[in-house]
Structure 1
Amino acid sequence: MDINTITAHRRPRDRAGLWPFHEGDAWLGGGTWLFSEPQPKLTRLVDLSLLDWQPLTVEDAGLSIAATCKVATLDAFEPPVAWPAARLIGPCCRAFLASFKIWNMATVGGNLCMSLPAGPMISLTAALEGVCTIWSPDGSERQVSVVDFVKGPLSNDLGPGEVLRSIHLPAEALARRTAFRRASLTPLGRSGVLLIGTLAADNAFVLTVTASTRRPVRLAFAARPSAADLAHRLEKAIPDALYYDDIHGLPDWRKHMTQLFAEEIRLELGGRP
């Protein structure tokens, strides 16, 4: 879709060129949402494509994903064998249920910044202890976990003029065993429920709830919990008002599937690798 209110287009090549950033400006990554509907409040696009950020960086400390990394690039990534949790990348990428055109343009950072409950890159990075690096207009930067970055539908932790630079997944989280569950009302529908469980070598258990809730919810246990303990924590951590309500699923259904999948994940991770 053409955005007929745009009167300027800037393509910075370095960090200093990103600013000033004014009201009416928008960061342009892949543009798959930006160009999908009218944007009457926008007058200028600041294109991030020439910044030459390395899409994926593998280090001993973990995996760094540039905000501009394309979904197709992430899906093609071949992780080290020491990172079994990286097998979550494929299912989460496929949860987009998007055409090849979207896969080759949509960015990981764009999915996080949209902050929609069904965002599969939110599910992936939240479950793997992702930490966002955010650049501020004054030249400083800060880190915030993905779980805290996403505040709710179309709401995140970015301040005026701030830009998401990257998401870091620590090696410790990538070394865990995992279990994945997803449900939709239709075979090719948007995620209504998406849960990921991880189990560390010391038996620490983490359950991350996304899609069914307005924001990511992370439940951490020092050891794999009992069925009763897990059910109690879910009830306490997710009040009824936090379950999302839209055309892709009613809150009661999302709550039921969340509880069902949580127990399935607990049982799956209780068996042998």
Structure 2
Amino acid sequence: MGDKLQGKVAVITGGTAGIGLATAKLFVAEGAHVFIMGRHRKQLDDAVTEIGHNTSGVQGDVTDLTDLDRLYEAVEAHGPIDIVFANAGVAEMAPLEAVSEEHFDRIFNANVKGALFTIQKALPLMNPGGSIILTGSVASTKGTPAFAVYGASKAAIRNFVRGWTVELADRRIRANVLSPGPITTSMVAGQPQDAIEKITSTIPMGRMGEPDEVAKAALFLASDDSSFVTGIELFVDGGRAQI
């Protein structure tokens, strides 16, 4: 147990599994009260039970603005927000010639529209000096076959943070992107095995990352340890996007 987030209120979308759940656990261990949002009731309830204390679950989809309104109504009853981690997203592969409108809309609605309105709707409740974190991806800087729509959605996230760094400076709200490489989550596990092996072979450290390794970077960006850090993209990728 630490105290890096003692008394802070954090919101994490996509908080029921993988990186979001690992981060929620760590934030609570460091003293925060965490609100997690997820689409599926059972997974949400299981996550709240697993975290154990100082956590609240709100069922909803970040692509539905009324769901986001419900999220922030629940948060507002608890107090101002210090940290928003817009982590919810989807990943799917489709080669260029097979990209459908549905594929494009699904990815951009969740990863771009969802992140934008998760942050916009949090702003009226955010304390001065708060921290915004968006989940990016090495896919935004690397060319990966059949992954271009997903990569483009994460490149959009990168520019959101650049703009918001300037827009929110007068409120001392910091905005950063946290960009994982391939991590052992259910989202990655759902990709074809040969694709996973091909990607892993390009990681200098020779292995996939763990959700806890990304959570520790999220804690850095959420806490006062990163008080002079804004507008960056912090890669937790075993070197994949760096070479």
Instruction: Provide TM-score, normalisation by structure 1.
Output: 0.26
Question: Which structure is higher in RCO with an 8 Å CA cutoff and minimum separation 6?
Answer: 2
Q: Which has the higher strand share?
A: 1
Instruction: Provide TM-score, normalisation by structure 2.
Output: 0.28
- State which structure, 1 or 2, has the greater radius of gyration over its C-alpha atoms: 1
